[in-house]
């Protein structure tokens, strides 16, 4: 005998963080970190209207007047959490074999070990998620690019920018420890003036700044992060 389970295929139920994104049977479709970064880039675009023209039609429900004024956490509690959550269609037993473009019907024998069944269901659903849903986010790099852009806008010299970026990462390593996005060994090597040639550091800062500008242009079009490498 088998149980037929109906599972919505649009939701990425990754084991590591899915339950952190579910509240009252609603799910935030991406990690909140992605929305925070998108918000920071959008806010930067709004801060420099002479450099970036935001297509406001792409942000109809974001309430851009609040984006300009509020921190991300403030905006998230007022706007973002409602804007980006999605009602979860409940998993339930069904007695139908009808076809559907939005759902996947999975047959699980009653005597199948639970953890094995969950793993197989996860594999099936992940194979059906869109490329956009599975797009790899690089939060650490995205943060560094934006920090570089803001520092360069203040006319700070590249070596000084590199020094400030390095000092910030070293400080985060001490305060956040295991929660730091950049691990200890990489942090120690990051933009180390004693180990890196001046011209290498210069090229690195130029590259960070260029990536930030490209991402900011993408954000103006409602895309995050989009294509930003050559």
What is the reported pLDDT for 98? 65
Count of alpha carbons within 13 angstroms of residue 65, beta-carbon side: 0
* Cβ atoms < 10 Å from Cβ of 110: 7
What is the reported pLDDT for 62? 97
What is the reported pLDDT for 104? 74
Domain boundaries, the chain: 2-128, 139-220
pTM of the predicted model, to two decimals?
0.71
What is the reported pLDDT for 191? 93
How high does pLDDT run on average in the chain?
Answer: 82
**What is the pLDDT averaged over residues 143-170?**
96
Q: Is residue 28 scored above 80 in pLDDT?
A: no
Q: Is residue 63 scored above 80 in pLDDT?
A: yes
Give 128-153 pLDDT, tens digit per residue.
Answer: 665 444 457 889 999 999 999 999 99
What is the reported pLDDT for 134? 45
What is the reported pLDDT for 123? 78
What is the reported pLDDT for 21? 65
**What is the pLDDT averaged over residues 190-212?**
94
Q: State how far the Cα of 176 lies from the Cα of 41, in Å rounded to an integer.
A: 23
Distances in Å between the Cα of 226 and the Cα atoms of 9, 21, 137, 162, 219 are 24, 23, 10, 25, 8
Confidence of residue 227 (pLDDT cuts 50, 70, 90): very high
Confidence of residue 54 (pLDDT cuts 50, 70, 90): very high
Q: Kindly state the tokens that stand for 57.
A: 């039609």
Radius of gyration of the chain (CA): 22
Beta strands (DSSP E) in the chain are: 2-8, 22-23, 26-28, 85-87, 92-93, 103-109
């Amino acid at each position: 005998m088998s149980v037929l389970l109906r599972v919505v295929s649009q939701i990425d139920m990754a084991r590591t963080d899915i339950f952190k994104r579910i509240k009252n049977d609603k799910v935030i479709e991406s990690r909140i970190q992605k929305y925070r970064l998108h918000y920071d880039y959008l806010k930067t675009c709004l801060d420099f209207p002479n450099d970036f023209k935001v297509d406001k039609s792409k942000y109809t429900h974001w309430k851009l007047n609040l984006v300009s004024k509020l921190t991300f956490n403030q905006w998230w509690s007022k706007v973002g959490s409602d804007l980006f959550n999605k009602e979860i269609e409940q998993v339930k037993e069904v007695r139908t074999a009808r076809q559907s473009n939005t759902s996947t019907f999975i047959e699980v024998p009653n005597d199948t070990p639970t953890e094995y069944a969950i793993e197989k269901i996860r594999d099936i659903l992940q194979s059906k998620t869109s490329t956009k849903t599975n797009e790899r986010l690089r939060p650490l790099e995205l943060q560094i690019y934006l920090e570089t852009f803001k520092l360069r806008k203040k006319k700070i010299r590249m070596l000084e920018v590199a020094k400030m970026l390095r000092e910030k990462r070293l400080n985060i390593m001490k305060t956040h420890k295991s929660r730091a996005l950049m691990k200890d060994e990489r942090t120690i090597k990051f933009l180390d003036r004693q180990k890196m040639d001046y011209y290498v550091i210069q090229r690195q800062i130029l590259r960070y700044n260029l990536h930030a500008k490209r991402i900011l242009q993408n954000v103006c079009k409602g895309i995050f992060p989009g294509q930003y490498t050559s």
